[in-house]
Amino acid sequence: MRTSLILVPLCLALASCTKNPAPTSAPPVDVVLIGAGVMSATLGTMLKELDPALTVTMFERMDSVSAESSDAMNNAGTGHSGFAELNYTPETPDGGIDTHKAVDINEQFEISKQFWAYQVQKQYLGAPQTFINNVPHMSFVWGAENIAYLHKRYDALQKENLFKGMVYTEDNEQLRKWIPLVMNGRDPKQKVAATRMELGTDVNFGALTRSMVTHLTGTHGMTLNLRTQVEDIKRGDKGLWNVTVKDLADGQKRTVQAKFVFIGAGGGALPLLEKTGIPEAKGYGGVPVGGQWLVTNNQALIDAHAAKVYGKASVGSPPMSVPHLDTRIIDGKKALLFGPFATFSTKFLKNGSWIDMPASIGTGNVKPMLGAGVDNIPLTKYLIQQVMNTPEERLATLREYLPQAKLEDWTLVNAGQRVQIVKDDPKKGGILQFGTEVVASADGSVTALLGASPGASTAAPIMLKVLQASAFRDQLKTSAWRAKMKEMVPSYGRKLNGDPAFANQIRQQSSAVLGLKTLVLDVPPAVAASAPSAPAVPHAVAAR
């Protein structure tokens, strides 16, 4: 009897005790997008451009679009391109610098810029300044060991075409011109160093997502269902998926049939993926990590800083917790943030449930979850330390980047919630995996996106991976779809870093449309002679 009393509320909480309603009599939907964030909006836009006849339905549990991870205050807003993020360029055992990840992320961000430029040209998004603006990206370090690392990093990146134009300095006077707040009040005897890249960007992913969804609903006929929670996803007849949803306004449930389901629900993707029952979902777990910003309303401070200044992460910290003093452009206004400070809860979403994490653990992933916990003691210690931080301790961290910071100028604001992937590994048992991962059924009829950083910045290339793994993969190989993909992403199927002439052409095209700075790379004469001439780009501005 006592066991029953315990199991009943748990069963109700997991929504597994009631029978799902039968599918509605409406025709099956071609595409169901779960989550109204930048990932679903990007995939929906791509698919409707590739095939306007597709019927698309989007479900979102919140009462507005991009209210979770895509919201401006719930993410870093950095156009992640590897310019400043030191965790993307680890030191190798022999003392060198591995630049592969930084180059790969830069390549991916160039794809996103092309995709956004296409939409701006088509007048889908409005003025680009509403969602993307140039803000220099800087790495800033102190101490002999860190300075030596940064100099090696700079030297290594100068061999990569996409990073040409980066500037390195240890000169305090130069730094005072670039980042006066960071230098004012600093001990003149402290050795510091920095790199700076003028091509850096700040992106308001919330504004971008809302514009894409507005276009999808207004022009492409996508059906948007807000305050609608996906309760279950089960295999139906004839290869269809039965997606059961609940209207959060009246509690009514209904089941929609879909040919293809994309689970792009941020931290909420893992529990929904588990509900599908596909074997590919086994072995995945998740560790939720939240964040908080220190935000200033002191206009003098906001006006005096104009850069994204990234430092080195603490030992054991997740990538999303790399500290940075960050200029943001949100809804046309400059803002200044510092952080993020990590938090921990068992919620998978900022507006999620406290039982999200325990409910996600089952026989299929309990072993890797335990293994990951044992192997990541530094992360556990880091999260505990962060949660226990006092206002004075947070201020002390801020003063490492802003020596004259005053507690009264800064307010602590909750940021978004991310879920780091725990993945079963044949040798290690369970590994905590940083980044994003596409999980798809064998037939491609359901795909899910798991993970975090670099996230939104690489939404377009990630959605290309989703298409390649999805039920649309054969159509993607057709000449018609490939031609359309090249129209949306002119570099589709090609890399930029090894081809400076092509990189110049692509960067100038997208930068001209988006109103961003660009930089003309040096091209060997023999290569320049054989390369097609780039079109005129009168709106492009050369970065200095």
Q: What CATH number is attached to the domain comprising 285?
A: 3.50.50.60
Q: Which of 55-59, 347-351, 488-492 has the lowest mean pLDDT?
A: 347-351
Mean pLDDT of 243-256: 96
Residue 362 inside a domain? The answer is yes
146 and 110 share a domain?
A: yes
CA distance to 199, 215, 221, per residue, from 218 (Å): 33, 5, 6
DSSP at 21: P
Helix/strand/coil (H, E, C) string of 152-212?
A: HHHHHHCCCHHHCCCEEECCHHHHHHHCHHHHCCCCCCCCEEEEEECCCEEECHHHHHHHH
- Per the structure, the complete domain to which residue 256 belongs is given by 29-476
Q: Is residue 93 a part of any domain in this protein? A: yes
Q: Are 338 and 294 within 8 A, CB to CB?
A: yes
Query: CA 442 from chain center: how many Å?
Result: 26
Q: Which helix (H) or strand (E) element contains residue 510?
A: helix 500-514
> Count of domains in the chain?
2
Q: Do residues 516 and 422 share a domain? A: no
* Residues 108 and 149 grouped into a single domain: yes
The predicted pLDDT at position 368 comes to 41
Decide if 386 is inside a domain. yes
Residue that terminates a domain, selected from 443, 476, 509: 476
Instruction: Kindly report the pTM of this predicted structure.
Output: 0.86
Question: Domain for residue 340, yes or no?
Answer: yes
114, 204: one domain = yes
Asked, for residue 259, whether it belongs to a domain, the answer is yes
In a shared domain, residues 262 and 195: yes
Rg of the chain over all Cα atoms, to the nearest angstrom: 24
For residues 517 and 395, state if they share a domain.
no
Closest C-alpha to 444, from 404, 471, 420: 471
Asked whether residue 508 falls in the same domain as residue 388, the answer is no
Residue 513 and residue 472 share a domain: no
Name, in order, each residue with C-beta under 8 angstroms of 180's C-beta and a sequence gap of 6 or more: 304, 305
Same domain, 80 and 163: yes
- d(Cα 272, Cα 303) in Å, to the nearest integer? 44
When pLDDT is averaged across residues 295-317 and rounded to a whole number, the result is: 87
Mean pLDDT of 145-151: 96
295 sits in which H/E element: strand 284-296
Domain assignment present for 491: no
Residue 21 lies in a domain: no
pLDDT reported for residue 365: 47
User: Do 160 and 283 share a domain, yes or no?
Assistant: yes
For 504, how many CA atoms within 13 A lie in the half-sphere containing its CB? Answer: 17
pLDDT bracket for residue 70 (50, 70, 90) = confident
For residues 195 and 99, membership in a common domain is answered with yes
Average pLDDT on 366-391 reads 53
Continuous segment of H or E residues that includes residue 511 = helix 500-514
**Average pLDDT score over residue span 402-410:** 96
- Write the pLDDT tens digit of every residue in 275-289: 999 999 887 776 677
- Based on the domain organization, do 507 and 465 belong to the same domain? no
Give domain status of residue 488, yes or no.
Answer: no
